[in-house]
Amino acid sequence: MLLIPCPYCGDRPEIEFRGGGEAHIARPRDPQAVDDQAWAEFLFYRTNPKGLMAERWNHAHGCQRWFNALRDTVSDRILESYRMGEKPSGGGSS
């Protein structure tokens, strides 16, 4: 079970969280102006990387805050977590 660093509450076990998929996929500002292909890519296309991935987490059974975390999908190591609207510090703490 992952130990997830909530930026508001600290390290908490994975069961307190709900995963929210890949992070930094901005909802188009004017969805109606987006063509079908671009909209489909926003809705469904994800990079699914092997290695570092920024992903969204919701501390559902805690502070209910959404935040982002940088996780290595191979080792499952979480390098850092950061609040919505923030950028990762880059490369993480190790």
Partner 1 sequence: MAGRNRLPRGGRVDRSKSVSIAFNGRTLAGFAGDTVASLLIAHDIHFVGRSFKYHRPRGFLSHGSDEPNALLSVDRGPGKIDPNNRATVAEAREGLVTHSQNHWPSLDFDVGAINDVLSPVFVAGFYYKTFMWPRRFWDSVYEPKIRAAAGLGRAPTEPDADRYANRHAHCDVLVVGAGPAGLAAALAASETGKRIFLADEQAEMGGTLLHDRTSMIDGKPAQDWVAEALAELRARGNVTLLPRTTAFGYYNHNHIALAERITDHLADAPAHMPRERLWQIRAAEVVLATGAHERPLVFADNDRPGILLAESVRAFINRYAVAPGRRIVFVTNGASAYAAALDAADAGLDVTLVDIRPEGDCGPELAALRAKGVTALTGHTVLAATGTRRVTGLAVAPVSPEGKIGARKILAADCVGMSGGWTPSVHLFSQSRGKLRFDPALDAFVPDQPVQATRSAGAANGRYDLSEILAEGFAAGSAAAGDSATRTFAATPTPTGFLPVRALPTDADPARIKAFIDFQNDVTAKDIHLAVREGFESVEHVKRYTTTGMATDQGKSSNMNALGLVAGILDKPLPTVGTTTFRPPYTPVTFGTLIGPSRDALFDPARKTPIHGWAEEQGARFEDVGLWKRAWYFPRGDEDMREAVARECAAVREHVGIFDASTLGKIEVVGPDAAEFMNRIYVNGWLKLEPGRCRYGLMLKEDGYILDDGVVARLAPDRFHVTTTTGGAPRVLAHMEDYLQTEWPELEVFLTSTTEQFAVIAVQGPKARDLIAPLVTGIDLANDAFPHMAVRTGFICGVPTRLFRVSFTGELGFEINVPADYGRAIWEAIFARGAAFGLTPYGTEAMHVLRAERGFVIIGQETDGTVTPDDLGLGGMIARTKPDFVGKRSLARPDLVAPGRKQLVGILADDPTLLLDEGAQIVADRDQPIPIHALGHVTSSYWSPACDRSIALALVESGRARIGSEVFVTTPSSFTKATVTAPSFFDAEGKRVHA
**Residue whose CB is less far from partner 1, 9 or 56:** 56
| 40 binds partner 1 per the rule CB under 8 A | yes
The span of 12-20, 47-55, 86-94 binding partner 1 (CB under 8 A) equals 12-20
Token pair recorded at residue 76: 């499952």
Cα distances from 57 to residues 30, 36, 37, 64, 83, in angstroms, run 25, 28, 27, 10, 10
| Residue 21 CA, distance from chain mean position | 6
Q: Interface with partner 1 by CB under 8 A: which residues?
A: 1-3, 13-14, 18, 20, 27-28, 30-32, 34, 36, 39-40, 43, 56, 58, 60, 64-66, 75-78, 84-85
